[in-house]
Structure 1
Amino acid sequence: MKIDLTDTTSSKINKALVQGRRAIGTPAVGMVLTLVIVTDEENAYDALKAANEASREHPSRKLVVVKRISRSARDRAQARLDAEVRVGTDAGTGETVVLRLYGEVMDHAQSVVLPLLLPDAPVVVWWPVNAPVNPAKDALGRLAQRRVTDTYAAEHPVQELTARADAYTPGDTDLSWTRITPWRSMVAAALDQVDCSVTSVEVEGEEHNPSGELLAMWLANRLRVPVRRSVSAGPGLTAVRMETTCGPITLDRADGALATLSIQGQPDRAVALKRRETSELIAEELRRLDPDDIYASALKFGVHRLGEAKSSLPPLPTREAGSSEHAPAHPVTPASMPVKKAASK
């Protein structure tokens, strides 16, 4: 069911949501969070499609904020809010409100969104494109417990990582980081099978791919060894090669779907490592709403430090008395490389 509202208000939108639920016979809300999607008209369809698919796992109220840039001076001066309310099968699992902002309303998007948030439910804000430099200080970002960006969509993705590190606030995350969860899992699993020290690492992938940089920074930060970033034709990440005191360990994915894990003294194994859709990435991020400390430490390691010799890397922080944080005593213990995302809703 769809309800179109022109030149409307947040109060009228809330009434339309209640009207829509009654019309389809589902008065109960039954949603676990509010997902705010801030995008442009060009990317709104794909972003909403991904969010609807993710809502099968996380029933949510989806608020799509589209700031419309008017061409004429008259339209720019006219403040207006148009909305499209979707409930039932048109909204995936949950409810969807597409908000189109015109004129001065664009500068006050938070005042439009705030009355539409689900009461006593967490808020996640996602910028598929054109994310602010500091999401936590953005007017909409301040409303959220979790702020999701995607440096892959930036004009200069690798440089964007440095800006993200400088502006990092607990609750920030990046889909470029989410894309490498299976890679981190496989690398940790491979190191679980050997009893030796890693001496150097090479991460191979497309040029200007922030996921490759983040994987390299994570490995350098956790293993305290030099990590070299090399370029391939892709797609995406193509290989991780680790030199160890027991021989080389290689995880190679040439086709974007199936990878080969090679460990010295063991037969090669084929492992599924396909490139995931945006809906799967968003669904993974919505499973945890607490700060991702592992992402933070990898991000703050710094792209410029990749390839540094082990002796020049600062030691991992020691665990202080009374602290709950664990600092690994040596670099290759797989337990020191946490990769799994805990469910938290």
Structure 2
Amino acid sequence: MRHCFEQTTILATGSAVRSIGNIMQPLLKPDLPIYLWWLGEPPGDDPTFLKLVEISNRVIVDSTSFFNPEQDLLTLSLLHQNFPEYALSDLNWGRITPWRELVVQFFDVLEYRQYLSGITSIEIEHAAAPFASPTRTELGDVSPNPACAFLLAGWLKARLDWSLVADSMENVRDTPSGTYHWQRARFHTHQSRQTGRDTSSKY
């Protein structure tokens, strides 16, 4: 099978970098989807990056290479809120698919789903992947990249309908050791807080 394609390489330097979005736009085929594969951290406030996002249908990143995963994932979340019309793909999300499938299979049996409401805390232990970039803290320490753990924790939070208690004194953020502890609360459909349960989570 033959695949026909056309490749155009643009080398921009200096002030031309700021106009790269306008330079590329006339070269794009109107009937084809446009994918932006951004290498490295997402510079959420960079005009060049935002222009490229604006003309793209999908933005692809790999959070394994993020230098500050906690902040960079937040940047992606805010970016997607500002540009809801484009799709966002993180290659790391595919890497945790086996873990998500493993968790879900426990509750494939209908009789087991009643126990979901009994989950009051979750603890995720993670280690750096061989190709993961280390995260350097303000003190100069290097810690494992927790991006996969963050993604898994966020997915569990969404599936369990938990909300972060942002002002809790029990929240812990220890980047050098890769230890995070967030207090969470589960809400019913009528948005009243569920009481009588310890809804803390450790990641």
TM-score normalised to structure 1 length: 0.38
Measure the CA separation in 2 of the matches of 1:102 and 1:134.
Answer: 19
Shift of residue 147, structure 1, vs aligned partner = 1.5
Residue aligning to 1:152: 64
Match of 1:201 among 122, 125, 150: 122
Match of 2:149 among 209, 212, 228: 212
CA contact (8 A) 1:124 1:146 kept: yes
Match of 2:88 among 146, 168, 172: 172
Shift of residue 192, structure 1, vs aligned partner = 0.5
Instruction: Say if 1:141 and 1:216 are closer, same or farther in 2 by CA, change over 3 A.
Output: same
CA contact (8 A) 2:41 2:67 kept: no
Shift of residue 187, structure 1, vs aligned partner = 1.7
Counterparts of 1:35-114 in structure 2, within 5 Å, are 94-114=5-25
CA contact (8 A) 1:203 1:212 kept: yes
Gaps in structure 2 of 5+ consecutive residues:
128-143, 165-171, 173-179, 192-203
For the residue of structure 2 that corresponds to 1:98, the secondary structure is coil
| CA-based RMSD | 3.5
Measure the CA separation in 1 of the matches of 2:33 and 2:46.
Answer: 17
Q: Quick one: which amino acid aligns to residue 197 of structure 1?
A: Y
Counterparts of 1:100-139 in structure 2, within 5 Å, are 100-133=11-44, 138-139=50-51
CA contact (8 A) 2:63 2:90 kept: yes
Percent identity for Structure 1 against Structure 2: 26
Aligned residues between the structures: 152
Gaps in structure 1 of 5+ consecutive residues:
1-55, 57-87, 230-303, 319-345
Shift of residue 313, structure 1, vs aligned partner = 3.0
CA contact (8 A) 2:162 2:187 kept: no
TM-score normalised to structure 2 length: 0.60
CA contact (8 A) 2:163 2:187 kept: no
CA contact (8 A) 2:42 2:72 kept: no
Q: Quick one: which amino acid aligns to residue 7 of structure 2?
A: T
Larger Rg: 1
Q: Which has the higher strand share?
A: 1
